[in-house]
Amino acid sequence: MKEDSLINLFSKIFSYPKSKDLIAGVGDDCAVIDLGAREYALVTVDEVQEGTHFLMKFTSPSLLASKLVRMNVSDIYSMGDARPLFCFVAGGLPRDIHPSWVKKFSVALKKESSFFGMKVAGGNLCRSDKVHFSMTVIGLASKGRIVYRKGTRVGDIIASVGFLGDAKAGVEILLSGKAKNRIEKKLVSRFWRPYIRHKDSRIIASYASAMLDNSDGLYKSLSIIAKENKVGVDIKLDKKIASPELISWCEAKKKNWREYVCSGGEDYGLIFSMNEKDFQLLKKKIPDSIAIGKVVSSRGIRIEGYEKKIETFEHF
| Binding region for its own copies (CB under 8 A) | 1, 3, 5-6, 9-10, 13-14, 16, 19, 21-22, 25-26, 30-31, 33, 35-39, 41, 43-47, 49, 51-53, 85-86, 88-90, 92-93, 97, 99, 102-103, 106-107, 110, 119-130, 132, 134, 136, 138, 140, 315-316
Q: How far is the CB of 263 from its own copies (least distance, A)?
A: 18
| DSSP annotation string for 212-262 | EE-TT-HHHHHHHHHHHHT-EEEE---GGGS-HHHHHHHHHHT--HHHHHH
Q: How far is the CB of 110 from its own copies (least distance, A)?
A: 6
Q: Which is nearer to its own copies, 5 or 256 (CB)?
A: 5
Q: Which is nearer to its own copies, 103 or 239 (CB)?
A: 103
The rounded distance, in Å, linking the Cα atoms of 102 and 94 is 11
Q: How far is the CB of 107 from its own copies (least distance, A)?
A: 6
Q: How far is the CB of 231 from its own copies (least distance, A)?
A: 25
The rounded distance, in Å, linking the Cα atoms of 150 and 14 is 18
Q: Which is nearer to its own copies, 302 or 315 (CB)?
A: 315
The rounded distance, in Å, linking the Cα atoms of 267 and 187 is 11
Q: How far is the CB of 72 from its own copies (least distance, A)?
A: 10
Q: What are phi and psi of 133, to 5 degrees?
A: -140, 125
> Which residues, in sequence order, are CB contacts of 175 under 8 Å at separation 6+?
none
Reduced to 3 states (helix: H, G, I; strand: E, B; else coil), residue 129 is coil
> Which residues, in sequence order, are CB contacts of 178 under 8 Å at separation 6+?
none
The rounded distance, in Å, linking the Cα atoms of 311 and 185 is 25
Q: Which is nearer to its own copies, 30 or 69 (CB)?
A: 30
Q: Which is nearer to its own copies, 25 or 151 (CB)?
A: 25
Q: Which is nearer to its own copies, 103 or 277 (CB)?
A: 103
CA distances from 107 to 65, 104, 135, 288, 290 (A): 9, 5, 16, 33, 36
Q: How far is the CB of 300 from its own copies (least distance, A)?
A: 27
Inter-residue contact 214 to 201 (CB < 8 Å):
no
